[in-house]
C-alpha cells in the first residue's frame, strides 16, 4: 500500500511540475526567444499549393515578412506574393512592427506568385502592434492584432518555429 501511495505522490508532483513548466513557457519569454524564423502554412486545394506566411526576426532588430507559394511535394518555395521589411521592438508581451519597405505583385497581376525581382516596391511606413504569446515550449508564436472597434479582424494567428 505504501508503494502505491508513493507512486501516486510522485505522479502528482510530476504532473504539477510539468504543468508549471508549460505555464511559465507561455508567459515568460525574452527577445532572444523571438529571434529566428516562424511560419504559418495553409494548403490551397484549387492550386494544390501551400501558401506560406513567414516572419524572420533578426538579432539586429529588423524583420522580414514573406508571403510565398510552396510546392506540395517538397519544401521549396516557388515564388513570392509579397515581402515586407522593417524593424521591431518588444516591450513585455507587445510586439511592434514598423514596416518601411513593401514589395508586392504588380497591379492587375493574374498570378499569385512570382520571382522576387518581379515584385514592385514602394516606401511604406506602417506600424502595427500585436499582443504575443509563446506556446508549446516556445515552438509556437501567437500574434494577436489589436483590433479597433468595428474593424474586421481574424483573431489570434499561430506561427510555428522553423
Structural domain includes residue 52: yes
Domain containing residue 129 = 31-161
Domain count, the chain: 1
**Higher model confidence: residue 142 or residue 151?**
142
Structural domain includes residue 18: no
What's the pTM? 0.79
Structural domain includes residue 107: yes
Task: Tell me whether strands 49-57 and 140-145 are parallel, antiparallel or unpaired.
Answer: unpaired
Structural domain includes residue 117: yes
Structural domain includes residue 75: yes
What is 62-109 written as a DSSP string?
EEEEEEEEE-SSSS-EEEEEEEEEEEEEEETTEEEEEEEEEEEPPTT-
Structural domain includes residue 25: no
Q: What is the pLDDT of residues 4-37, one digit of tens each?
A: 454 444 544 444 444 444 444 455 678 899 999 9
The pLDDT value recorded for residue 27 is 57
Structural domain includes residue 12: no
Task: Flag whether pLDDT at 77 surpasses 80.
Answer: yes
**Higher model confidence: residue 88 or residue 73?**
88
> Which residues, at least 6 apart from 13, have a Cβ–Cβ distance to it below 8 Å?
none
Our CA dihedral for 83, 32, 50, 100, rounded to 10 degrees, sits at -10
Structural domain includes residue 74: yes
Q: Residue 53 maps to which CATH number?
A: 2.40.128
3-class DSSP state of 58:
coil
Residue with the three cell numbers 484549387: 46
- If you average pLDDT over every residue of the chain, what do you get? 85
Position 125 confidence tier, pLDDT thresholds 50, 70, 90: confident
Amino acid at each position: 500500500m505504501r508503494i502505491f501511495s508513493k507512486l501516486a505522490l510522485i505522479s502528482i508532483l510530476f504532473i504539477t511540475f510539468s504543468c508549471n513548466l508549460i505555464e511559465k513557457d507561455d508567459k515568460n519569454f525574452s527577445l532572444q526567444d523571438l529571434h529566428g524564423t516562424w511560419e504559418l502554412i495553409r494548403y490551397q486545394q484549387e492550386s494544390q499549393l501551400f501558401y506560406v506566411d513567414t516572419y524572420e526576426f533578426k538579432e539586429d532588430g529588423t524583420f522580414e515578412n514573406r508571403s510565398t507559394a510552396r510546392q506540395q511535394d517538397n519544401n521549396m518555395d516557388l515564388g513570392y506574393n509579397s515581402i515586407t521589411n522593417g524593424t521591431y521592438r518588444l516591450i513585455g508581451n507587445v510586439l511592434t512592427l514598423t514596416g518601411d519597405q513593401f514589395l508586392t505583385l504588380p497591379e492587375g497581376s493574374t498570378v499569385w506568385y512570382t520571382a522576387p525581382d518581379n515584385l514592385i516596391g514602394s516606401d511604406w511606413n506602417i506600424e502595427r502592434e500585436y499582443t504575443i504569446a509563446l506556446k508549446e515550449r516556445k515552438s509556437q508564436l501567437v500574434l494577436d492584432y489589436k483590433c479597433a472597434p468595428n474593424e474586421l479582424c481574424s483573431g489570434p494567428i499561430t506561427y510555428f518555429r522553423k
